[in-house]
A and B are shown apart, each in its own frame.
Chain A
Amino acid sequence: MNIVVAIKQVPEISNVQVNPETGTLIRQGVSSILNPFCEYALDHAVRLKALCPDIRITTVSMGPPQARSALMRTLELGADRAVLVCDRKFAGADTWVTALTLAEAIRCTVPDFHLIFVGKQAIDGDTAQVGPEMAEILHLPQISYGTACEITGNNKKIRVQRETESGYQILETRLPALVSFSKGENIRRAPSFADILSSRKKPIDLIRAQDLNIADQELGLSGSFTQVVKIFPPLLKENGPLLSGLSPQETTATIIKLLNTIDVLEKKEGSL
C-alpha cells in the first residue's frame, strides 16, 4: 500500500518582517522547519506502517531547493522516499496552482497511491486550501481535521476520527482518499541516531516542470488565479494601560467599564 504525505517547509517563528521600502518579506535569519501539521500527518502514516509493514511512505514537497532539508527530516522520521518538486517555473504559485502541481507530481511519481495525507493547514499561510483542492483535482473523497485513523475493510477503506465543534466524529471512506490531519494524540518525536543514519540511504527524487504534464503558462505565477496586488504591514494598534497594585474590586470595576464600552455585556448569544 502506498501512502503519500504532502508536506511544506515553513519559517520557524512567525516573526517575518516586511521591508518597508520594497514591500517584500525579509526571510533572512529566519530558520525553516517542517510544518507541524504536516509532521502530524506523517506520524499517522508511520503509525499505520508499524501495523502494516508493506506500507510505503513517500513524502512530496513543492518548494525551493532548501525544502530538501524538510524532506530529509521526513526521511529521518520514517518516510521511505521523498520527492522534491522544484523549478523556477513553479515560483509564485497560489493555492490552486500549488494543488495542481502537487497532484500532477503525485500522479507521476506514485501513480498507484492509496492514500494522501496532509496537515490541516500550514502555519505560515494558514489557508487550509491546498489539501481539499488537491483532493478535488484527483477526484478523491476527503476527510478533514483527522486525529486518528485505521485501515479497514480488507485494505479497501479508511476510518478517520475527526475533531468537530462539540466532540468528534468517525468517518469512513473508500480508498483512494485524502485525509487532512489536525493534532491528535501524537507527540512530535525526535528521530533516533539509527533513524538518521538509515535516512541517508533513502532517495530524494527531483521533479522539474518538464516532468509534469502541465503547460508552462499554467504553472507558478502565470497559472495562478489569485494575484497579490499589495503587501503592507498591519495597522498596529497601540496597547492599552498596564495596571498594577489594584485591589480585586478596583480591577473588576476597570474591566466592567471596558466591557461596557465595547458593548459585550448586554448582547448575549442568541440575540440574532
Chain B
Amino acid sequence: MMLINREKCNQCELCIKSCPFGAMTITEQSAQAGDECTLCGCCVNVCPQGAIAIQRTPVSQKDLARFCGVLVVAECEERQGLLHPKKVVYELLSKGRELADKLGQTLMVIIMGDDRLADLTKLGHHGADRVLKCVHPLLKEFSTDGFTAVLSTVIADIKPGVVLYGATPNGRELAPRVAARLRLGLTADCTGLDIDAENQLVQTRPAFGGNIMAAIIAPRTRPQTATVRPNVFPVNFYDAAKIAEIREVSLVLNKSMIRTRIVQEVCLTEEQEPALEEARIIVAAGRGYQTQENLSNARRLAKKLGGVLAASRPLVEDGLLPHTRQVGQSGNTISPKLYIALGISGAVQHLVGMNGSQTIIAVNQDPKAPIFKIADLGIVGDADAVVKSLLTKLEN
C-alpha cells in the first residue's frame, strides 16, 4: 500500500504530474492515491519532500498465479536514423516463445523509444503475440530514470509472470532498478532458462568466473526477472505468417522524472560497433600480437568476419585499445559465437572473461600457452603469418 506522510507533503503536485494512471489527487491536507494506483512507484522518487513510500507485502501463493505471460524488454539501436531492436531481442523472443508455450501463456514484447521506432512487424514473425509500443520524446535516448519509470508502470499494470532483458550495458542498469522498485527477484547473466514442474522459471547462470553453474528460482516474487547474455540463445523461431497485435501504451513522463542530463556525447569510433558483450564474433589481440600493423590487420580480419576487435589487459593498459574493448576479469565478460585469440597466452584472469565463447580459435607461439587448454582449434605458430594468409584468402 502507499503511505503518504502528511507532515512532509507540501502539496507541490509533482506526484500528480508523474503518475501514469492519474491516480494522485491533492486534498486539503496532502496528496492521496486513488483506486487506479498500481503501486508502480513513479511518484516516490519524484517527491522532493520524500513524503511518499510504498509498503509492499509479499505476494501469497494464490496471487502468484495471477501473474501471467512472458515479457521481453526490447532494447533498440540506431541504424540509418531509425531505432531497431537489437539482435539479442530476437534471441530472447525465440527463448521467450519456448517458455510461453510451456506455460501456455502469451509472449509480449515492450519497446521504448521516440518517433524513430522502426517497423515492428518482425517482432511478430519472431514469436511475439503482442507488442507494447511506448513512444515519447523523452525516450529519445536511454536514461535509467525514464526507462525504469515506463517499464515499472507497464509491469505493474499488465502483471507478467516472467520478464527477460538482454544483459547489455543498458539492460544491466535497467533490470536491477526495476527489480528494486517493484521488489522483484532478479538473476543476472543467465545462460539457461527453463520452466519446472510448478511452472516456475529456473534460471541458470555461471558464477565464480564460470567455474560453477547455479540454478536459481524466485519462489515468492512475480514477475520473475532475468537478464540473459547475448549470443547464448539461438534465433530459432521464425514464422512470416505470425502477426503480433501492436498496442500503443499511453505514457506519462515528464522531465522532472529524469534526473540525469547528458552534457556531452563523444563518438570515438567511426561507425558504431556493438558492445563487446553483444558481439557475435570477436578477434582479440594480446602481447604476442600488438604492433600497430598487427592491430590494423586484426581489425581488418574482424571486419571481414562481421565482428569486432578486442584485446587482453596489457594492450589496454598500454593505451592501444580502450577499456571497453578489454576481455577478462577486470574488463568484459563475453560469450560470442566465435573468439579468435591472437598472441594471447591465456592467464586465468583472461580465460574467465571469455570461456563462455562457443568456439575458440587460438594462435600462439608457445605450445604450452594455457589458452590452448580451452581452444577448439589451437595453432602453434606466428599469428602475423596466419592473419595475413587468412586475410588474403577471405578478401579474394
Name A's B-contacting residues (CB within 8 A). 11, 13-18, 25, 36-37, 94-96, 99, 123-137, 139, 141-145, 147, 159, 163-174, 177, 182-184, 224-234, 237, 239-246, 248-249, 251-252, 254-256, 258-259, 262, 264-265, 267-270, 272
Contacts of A251 in B (CB 8 A): 379, 381, 386, 389
In the complex, residue of chain B having the shortest beta-carbon distance to the beta carbon of A230: B215
Contacts of B265 in A (CB 8 A): 164, 167, 169-170
In the complex, residue of chain A having the shortest beta-carbon distance to the beta carbon of B389: A248
Q: Is the CB of A234 within 8 A of B378?
A: no
Which of B212, B274, B376, B381 has a CB less than 8 Å from the CB of A234? B212
Q: Which 5 A-B pairs have the closest CB atoms?
A: A14-B209, A225-B185, A136-B180, A244-B380, A167-B268
Contacts of B215 in A (CB 8 A): 228-232
Which of A126, A167, A169, A262 has a CB less than 8 Å from the CB of B189? A126
Q: Closest approach, in angstroms, between the C-beta of A246 and any C-beta of chain B?
A: 7
Q: Is the CB of A166 within 8 A of B214?
A: no
Q: In the docked arrangement, what's the CA distance between A18 and B211, Å?
A: 8
Q: Is the CB of A255 within 8 A of B216?
A: no
Q: Is the CB of A239 within 8 A of B378?
A: yes
Contacts of A226 in B (CB 8 A): 185-187, 216-218
Interface magnitude class on chain B: 35 or more
Q: Is the CB of B259 within 8 A of A174?
A: yes
Which of A147, A173, A272 has a CB less than 8 Å from the CB of B323? A147
Q: Is the CB of B272 within 8 A of A165?
A: yes
Q: Is the CB of A248 within 8 A of B385?
A: yes
A125-B260 contact, Cβ under 8 Å, with A13-B349, A225-B183, A242-B367? no
Name B's A-contacting residues (CB within 8 A). 44-45, 50, 79, 87, 90, 122, 144-145, 148, 169, 172-173, 175-177, 179-181, 183-189, 202, 206-221, 235, 259-269, 272-275, 280-281, 305-306, 322-324, 326, 329-331, 333, 337-338, 348-349, 352, 358-359, 361, 367, 372-381, 385-386, 388-390, 392-394
Which of A25, A142, A239, A255 has a CB less than 8 Å from the CB of B208? A25
Contacts of B213 in A (CB 8 A): 231-234
Contacts of A95 in B (CB 8 A): 176, 186, 188
Q: List 28 A-B contacts (CB under 8 A).
A: A15-B209, A15-B211, A16-B209, A17-B211, A94-B185, A96-B180, A96-B185, A129-B179, A136-B177, A136-B181, A142-B173, A163-B324, A167-B267, A170-B263, A172-B260, A173-B259, A183-B330, A225-B183, A226-B185, A227-B219, A229-B202, A234-B212, A234-B213, A251-B381, A255-B377, A255-B390, A264-B337, A268-B306
Q: Closest approach, in angstroms, between the C-beta of A180 and any C-beta of chain B?
A: 9
Contacts of A264 in B (CB 8 A): 280-281, 305-306, 337-338
Q: Is the CB of B176 within 8 A of A132?
A: yes
Q: Is the CB of B209 within 8 A of A246?
A: no
Q: Closest approach, in angstroms, between the C-beta of A186 and any C-beta of chain B?
A: 11
Q: In the docked arrangement, what's the CA distance between A167 and B214, Å?
A: 34
Q: In the docked arrangement, what's the CA distance between A134 and B176, Å?
A: 9
- Chain A: interface secondary structure? mixed
Q: Closest approach, in angstroms, between the C-beta of A37 and any C-beta of chain B?
A: 7
Q: Is the CB of B393 within 8 A of A252?
A: yes
A132-B144 contact, Cβ under 8 Å, with A139-B50, A229-B215? yes
Q: In the docked arrangement, what's the CA distance between A14 and B364, Å?
A: 23
Contacts of A123 in B (CB 8 A): 209, 329-330
Q: In the docked arrangement, what's the CA distance between A133 and B216, Å?
A: 19
Question: Counting chain A CB atoms within 10 Å of each CB, which of B172, B269, B374 scores highest?
Answer: B172
Q: Closest approach, in angstroms, between the C-beta of B209 and any C-beta of chain A?
A: 3
Q: Is the CB of A163 within 8 A of B338?
A: no
In the complex, residue of chain A having the shortest beta-carbon distance to the beta carbon of B168: A165
Q: Is the CB of A132 within 8 A of B173?
A: yes
Can you name 8 extra interface pairs (CB under 8 A) apart from A13-B349, A164-B265, A183-B326?
A126-B188, A136-B180, A164-B169, A170-B263, A172-B263, A248-B381, A249-B389, A262-B338
Contacts of B209 in A (CB 8 A): 14-16, 123-124, 126
Q: Is the CB of A165 within 8 A of B177?
A: no
Contacts of A184 in B (CB 8 A): 323
In the complex, residue of chain B having the shortest beta-carbon distance to the beta carbon of A238: B376
